Amino acid sequence: MIRVKQESFQLRQFYSGRTCIRTTKNSDANSKWIAQKLESLIMTDPNISYSSMWQVLLEKYGIESTSNMKLYEALIYVCKIYTFFICKNRT
């Protein structure tokens, strides 16, 4: 018969609050993901500004786009899918 020594622990204090700062930078948010999330917004207003797209990403999803290039690529991606004639002045 083998005896196993068991140890137990008791928590004295538990801190449930987070102390780290939430980051809004997300390098995983590529242009295709941004296009999928902002698709209806871009379809409504194909001439939307990059600052408006950036603001929606921040408010709705809590992330900042790392560059205007990703926003541009997202806009072009949606325009190519739906072949907006209005978007042709962006390319």
Parse the chain into domains and list their residue ranges: 31-90
Tokens of 22: 């939430």
Q: What is the model's pTM?
A: 0.62
CB 63 within 8 A of CB 29: yes
Q: Tokens for 66?
A: 């790392």
Query: pLDDT tens digits, residue range 44-62?
Result: 888 889 899 999 998 888 8
HSE-CB at 80 with a 13 A cutoff on CA atoms is 10
pLDDT in tens, 57-79: 988 888 877 688 999 999 888 88
For residue 11 the two structure tokens come to 């928590």
Those residues with Cβ within 8 angstroms of residue 78's Cβ, 6 or more apart along the chain or in another chain:
35, 38, 39, 42, 43, 87
Contact 25, 63 (CB under 8 A): yes
